Structure 1
Amino acid sequence: MVGKGGVSLLREIERTGSISKAAHNLGMSYKFAWDYVSKIREELGEVVSKRGRETGGSSLTPQLEMVLEIYEEAEVEVRNVLDKYEAKLKELIGDP
């Protein structure tokens, strides 16, 4: 559903309030970013909502925010497991 690059894009959309600005800041084309958001929308339904007239821009829906939080939590857990086994391997074979 989402991966590291997608999470970066979606977090940047949240930060900037703009798909266009997020794409620019991450060095990707607007079309690529728009297509990615469209793909996520097909899987989850509406994921980016328009802010009010005065604030403008886009924000992530609460559902997508929860998806990203779960992804980021899992990423931390996976990193911790990998670090644990990397330490065991270094202990076994030494640190090159």
Structure 2
Amino acid sequence: MEREQGVPLHCKVTVRILKETRAFGPGVAQLLRGIGETGSLQGAAQQMGMSYSKAWTVMKEAENIWGFPLTERHVGGLHGGHSVLTAQAQILLQRYDSLEDSVCRVAQEKFAEYFNPQELRRLKEIGHGK
């Protein structure tokens, strides 16, 4: 049997928490991580290649859905303003990461069960009358 070159088959799962619209997902998580790293929404948006206005809209929508702020904004000062994650945002991010890890682990297990080399051989043999 010929072996195909390149990346092997695999699955990718994306976790999104929804209400009427997206409440939390990879984008919000990445923005929060970026705020934690850079100390600002603008810095986080730049890291992602996202406009500040888009990042601000995403954060405001998430805060409205959750009903509490995700960042504390500190204006001015000697070195300008900065932002930090609220305790709620830190917990949300930790829980999201744990949920995503769990879901991805189960998805990988099921993928290995349904798409292992033996099962793929069976699929190929179906069309050959074997």
Which TM-score applies when normalising by structure 2? 0.66
- Deviation of 1:33 after TM superposition, in Å, equals 0.2
- What corresponds to 1:35 in structure 2? 57
CA distance in 1, matches of 2:64, 2:87: 16
Q: What are the within-5 Å matches in structure 2 for residues 16-95 of structure 1?
A: 16-44=38-66, 45-51=68-74, 53=77, 56-89=81-114, 90=116, 92-94=118-120
Deviates more, 1:51-60 or 1:34-43: 51-60
Deviations 1:3-46 (A, max 9, x none): 01110111101110111111111000100000011112212322
Q: Report the residue type matching 1:66 in the other structure.
A: I
Q: Which has the higher helix share?
A: 1
Deviations 1:43-84 (A, max 9, x none): 232211035846741011001110111110000000100110
Partner SS state of residue 94, structure 1:
helix
Query: Is 1:10 aligned with 2:32?
Result: yes
Q: Mark the runs of 5 or more structure 1 residues left unpaired by the alignment.
A: none
Identity of aligned residues (%): 29
Which TM-score applies when normalising by structure 1? 0.87
CA distance in 1, matches of 2:78, 2:29: 27
**Rg larger in structure:** 2
CA distance in 2, matches of 1:54, 1:64: 26
CA distance in 1, matches of 2:58, 2:39: 16
Deviates more, 1:53-62 or 1:2-11: 53-62
